[in-house]
Amino acid sequence: MSDGLFIERDGFRTMLKWHRGHKQAGDISFTPDRITEGMALGASVEIDLICHAVGGLAVLHDEVLDKATTGQGPVRAASVDQLRNQFLRDHDGQPSAHRVMLIDDLGRILASISHRAGAVLQLDLKEKASDLTQQDIDAFVAAIGPVRERVILSAGDAKAVSRLAEALPGLPLGYDPCHGGAIERLMESGDFVAFIDDAVAAIPDAEMIYLDHEAVLFAEDRGFNMVAAFHAAGKRIDAYTINRADEVSLPRVLRLLALKCDQITTDDPVGLQALIALYDNQRSMAG
């Protein structure tokens, strides 16, 4: 069975990032089981962080609890006890046996499990710097400080990343420059060089740049290799998000692989790995 770790083609390895902790289609988002498995295998795994009411962060993507959990209302208005009493919903919207995790739960899990070389957990912060309280920052530092070498912090707000980085020196950093209308402006202007310069300058120490894969392909359609340009600036590239591993997504994935993206974010790493293996096998047999 595929392990969903990476795809290797033409001598280049592209990691497959487990979006929201998904190893394969139908997985429940943000379960400790998948995080533990991914770290043990050496996978690139991603979770999201949202601030809650008591000074700290929950491992959730949405601003409200209603869709992904058994709770209701804004995450920002929920107490620790309220969050801990909620269960994650599965792919069909049914309650699962997995409780909502908080940042301190996540820190304890990372500190207690084994991890293979190359394993990394992306902490994708869904908050702006102006929304972070000192309590939020303190909770992050307390939970992640002891395991900082196993994670990479990212956000669409460079100032938010910088605030947490200042509080926790040595924390690996990433940046997503595709928010706040940036992609729409890029598609209108076509000024790819300025986009790259701004992204690199926003967080000079960022190791990974996270790019909407549509923007990467838009640039290629206009004769500009955005991946190569970021590589030239010393940055690795993650192209997000391939939601399904099917014939519709195949041409896009093949283009991203040909561009040598360092990582592709997907909700179905196992399926995507198998899809490319099948494609390559069929092409080999035909040739």
SS (H, E, C) 225-262: CHHHHHHHCCCEEEEEEECCCCCCCHHHHHHHHHCCCC
What is the C-alpha separation between 164 and 161, in angstroms, rounded?
5
Asked if residues 128 and 91 have their Cβ atoms less than 8 Å apart, the reply is no
Residue 189 lies in a domain: yes
Q: Give φ, ψ of 50 to 5 degrees.
A: -130, 140
Residue 126 lies in a domain: yes
Specify burial of residue 93 (Cβ count, 10 A radius: 0-12, 13-18, 19+): exposed
Residue 64 lies in a domain: no
What is the C-alpha separation between 7 and 282, in angstroms, rounded?
16
Compute the average pLDDT of residues 68-86: 98
Residue 167 lies in a domain: yes
pLDDT at 228: 99
Residue 276 lies in a domain: yes
pLDDT band, very low/low/confident/very high, at 89 (cuts 50, 70, 90): very high
Which residue stretches of the chain are H helix? 32-41, 80-84, 103-112, 134-144, 158-167, 182-189, 192-202, 213-221, 226-232, 250-258, 269-286
C-alpha dist (Å) from residue 67 to 62, 75, 87, 105: 8, 12, 11, 22
User: In the numeric block, which tokens belong to residue 155?
Assistant: 């956000």
Query: What's the CATH number where 36 sits?
Result: 3.20.20.190
What is the C-alpha separation between 184 and 116, in angstroms, rounded?
39
Asked if residues 202 and 209 have their Cβ atoms less than 8 Å apart, the reply is no
Asked if residues 211 and 183 have their Cβ atoms less than 8 Å apart, the reply is no
Q: Is the pLDDT of residue 287 over 70?
A: no
pLDDT tens digits, 52-75: 999 999 999 999 999 999 999 999
pTM of the model: 0.97
What is the C-alpha separation between 255 and 32, in angstroms, rounded?
33
pLDDT at 38: 98
Compute the average pLDDT of residues 269-287: 93
Residue-range definition of the domain harbouring residue 174: 6-49+115-286
Residue 62 lies in a domain: no
Residue 87 lies in a domain: no
pLDDT at 187: 95
143 three-class SS: helix
Give me the number of domains the chain comprises: 1
Residue 168 lies in a domain: yes
